[in-house]
Amino acid sequence: MPIPVRRGLLPVVLLVLAGVAMPACAGPGTATATDPEMVDCAVVLNMPLIQQAAREWQAPAGGMTALVLVHEQEHCLRVPDDRETPAVAAEQRLAKKLRNPRLVAFVEATLTRLDASGYWKS
């Protein structure tokens, strides 16, 4: 089910498709054919991979899923900025609000995988 969020005054729709084995994000937000003021942002969740990461980090799968969703939402809200830093920062804010030390540790480990420019290290 689409979840409306706001990018300034422009609404964004997140379409969550769970349980398919595909990358976590299908691409940047694009204008819809039916309403040029709405933006579709499809987020495809690889639930087996998320559940595996949750087990490895001894973190709740629901919390790990929420981190992926907020990460991908942030990419949609910041188009055309494709750096990872803002998306991981959003994860970090959520992990701290959830007060789960395992989720916080996961995000801190993720931060070490970014280069100085804010992109994934090669």
What pLDDT, in 10s, does the model give residues 48-64?
889 999 999 999 999 99
Q: Domain range for residue 41?
A: 3-111
**Residue 92 domain-assigned (yes or no):** yes
**Residue 120 domain-assigned (yes or no):** no
**Residue 107 domain-assigned (yes or no):** yes
The number of folded domains in the chain is 1
Q: d(Cα 60, Cα 64) in Å, to the nearest integer? A: 6
**Residue 21 domain-assigned (yes or no):** yes
**Residue 86 domain-assigned (yes or no):** yes
b or e along 19-55 (b: 16 or more beta carbons within 10 Å of the residue's beta carbon)? eeeeeebeeebeeeeeeeebbbbbbbbbeeebeebbe
72-107 pLDDT tens trace? 888 877 767 789 999 999 999 999 999 999 999 999
Instruction: Supply the pLDDT for residue 11.
Output: 45
**Residue 118 domain-assigned (yes or no):** no
What do you get for the CA distance between the two ends of the chain, in Å? Answer: 35
Residue showing tokens 């790990």: 64
**Residue 15 domain-assigned (yes or no):** yes
- To the question of pTM greater than 0.85 for the whole model, the response is no
Q: d(Cα 58, Cα 86) in Å, to the nearest integer? A: 25
